[in-house]
Amino acid sequence: MFDSVIIGAGVAGCVAARELAEAGREVLVLEQREHIGGNCYDELDEHGILIHKYGPHIFHTREPRAYDYLSRFTKWYAFGHEVVANVHGTLIPVPFNLNTLHMVYDKEKADELEKKLIEAFGMESRVPILKLRQHSDPDIRQIADYVYENIFLHYTMKQWGQTPEEIDPAVTERVPVLISYDNRYFQEPYQGMPLDGYTPMFKAMLDHPGIRVMTGVDARTRLSFEGEQVFFDGKAFEGEVIYTGPLDELFDCRFGRLPYRSLHFDFEYLEQEDYQGHSVVNYTVSEDFTRITEFKYLTGQKAPGTTIVREYPFAYTGAKGEIPYYSIANEENQKLYERYKELLDKIPNVYVLGRLAEYKYYNIDAMVLRALMLTDRLKKS
């Protein structure tokens, strides 16, 4: 009955399903959860506040193709995401920028440091703290040390459950200092939130006569592999299979479980109009949670009360109810992933797509583009 089976109805699966259906395929989407949208899923809570059940997701991109594609299925709420860090009780903008500089240092010192940063790197540049820490000027290294200690180090240890020595240097390299007065967390030209929410956007994407969606279904009860053959409901299946879930779990973790970090969310409704004055506050040097999100600031929703959520990272174990969120990038884990990938590569017409299946971190726009690249290739075959 189907030409293509897609396992997972997150960003990757929804985009792939729509593209293949528009190319004339009959597509079946199997989703283990009871809803579509993956970790971008949003819903109204019991108080009427639109919340992101799996933590905040903000769309941002420099890629017109990703923006234009999603714009087919949603209008946008223009939102420039601004994050602050709670550093010993003081809220400062992150990433660290020139505004932060003038909050941390007195005016004379801040003016001097600003001049040095602009001369060394240029206005509007993004400089990794690792590069700053290696600079010949001790004053510039001092800025990097402040950022490392007060914004990066303790937050990252909480997030990843690792000591400074264990943290992959590639993570440090991604932490920038912005030579700018722009307080936005992202500087891409396209950024915002789906006007009516992510879930309606994905519903519109899957609203096609060539797409059938089944939620609450573990694909492993419908699909199986024997040698180089795929079976669907016990019958040989010659169509395309796109898998977006954890690759190790597809093979019952036969070589051991791929490490991920998971998250516990503690939601709280408050009968007050405002809680923290910001969409996200990172707790970088204190508390056992990493951040608090106040959803009304993400969506622009007006309501007399407000809903917040605290995030507590922990190591994913595969226990019931746990969700793998972030792959832990290092050489050992990548080698383990490649063992599972080798198993899959022996099976024709099965493709991995997405954060979990590829064991990589992708933003929403990158995920859209990867789904489009894969389906562009499949449509030609």
Q: Which domains does the chain have, with CATH numbers?
A: 4-77+193-256+328-380 (3.40.50.720), 83-178 (no CATH), 260-315 (no CATH)
Which has the closest alpha carbon to 202: 55, 309, 351, 69? 69
Contact 85, 91 (CB under 8 A): yes
Count Cβ atoms within 10 A of the Cβ of residue 202 and give its class: 0-12 exposed, 13-18 middle, 19 or more buried: buried
Q: Averaged over 286-293, what is the pLDDT?
A: 95
Mean pLDDT calculated for residue range 214-230: 92
Instruction: Give me the helices (H) in 152-293, please.
Output: 154-160, 169-173, 198-206, 247-250
Residue appearing with tokens 């020595």:
165
CA separation for the pair 173, 202 (Å, rounded): 34
pLDDT digits (tens, 9 = 90+) for 48-57: 999 999 999 9
pLDDT band at 173 (very low <50, low <70, confident <90, very high): low
Round to whole Å and give the CA distance between 276 and 58.
Answer: 19
Q: Which residue has the higher pLDDT, 168 or 242?
A: 242
pLDDT at residue 122 tops 70:
yes
- Bridge partners (DSSP) of residue 95 are none
Q: Which amino acid is located at 255 in the chain? A: F
Would you give the end-to-end CA distance of the chain in angstroms? 19
Q: What is the pLDDT of residue 172?
A: 67
Q: How far apart are the C-alpha atoms of 4 and 342, rounded to whole Å? A: 22
**Torsion 154-90-134-120 (CA) sign:** positive
On whether the CB atoms of residues 336 and 342 are closer than 8 A, the answer is no
Among the listed residues 357, 155, 159, the one whose alpha carbon sits nearest the alpha carbon of residue 264: 159
Q: Is the pLDDT of residue 186 over 90?
A: no
Return the number of other C-beta atoms located less than 10 Å from residue 316's C-beta.
Answer: 21
Quote the CA–CA distance of 128 and 114 in Å, as a whole number: 16
Cβ neighbours, 10 Å, residue 368 = 23
**Mind giving me the DSSP string for 245-296?**
S-HHHHTTTTT-PPPEEEEEEEEEEESSS-SSSSSEEEESSSSSS-EEEETH
Instruction: Measure the CA–CA gap between 341 and 335, rounded to whole angstroms.
Output: 10
Question: Encoding tokens for residue 266?
Answer: 């503690």
Check whether 202 has a pLDDT greater than 70: yes
Which two tokens mark 43?
Answer: 């819903």
Name residue 314's beta-bridge partners: 262
Token readout for 54 is 């799996």
Confidence (pLDDT) at 360: 94
How many whole angstroms separate alpha carbon 338 and alpha carbon 326? 17
pTM of the model: 0.93
pLDDT in tens, 230-280: 999 999 999 999 999 999 999 999 999 999 999 999 999 999 999 999 999
**From CA 36, how far away is CA 108, in angstroms rounded?**
54
Taking CA atoms, 250 is separated from 129, 139, 146, in Å, by 38, 51, 44
pLDDT value of position 310? 98
DSSP state of 325: -
Length of the chain: 381
Q: Could you report the per-residue pLDDT of 65-95, keeping only the tens digit for each?
A: 999 999 999 999 999 999 999 999 999 999 9
Contact assessment for residue 202 and residue 37, using Cβ atoms and an 8 Å cutoff? yes
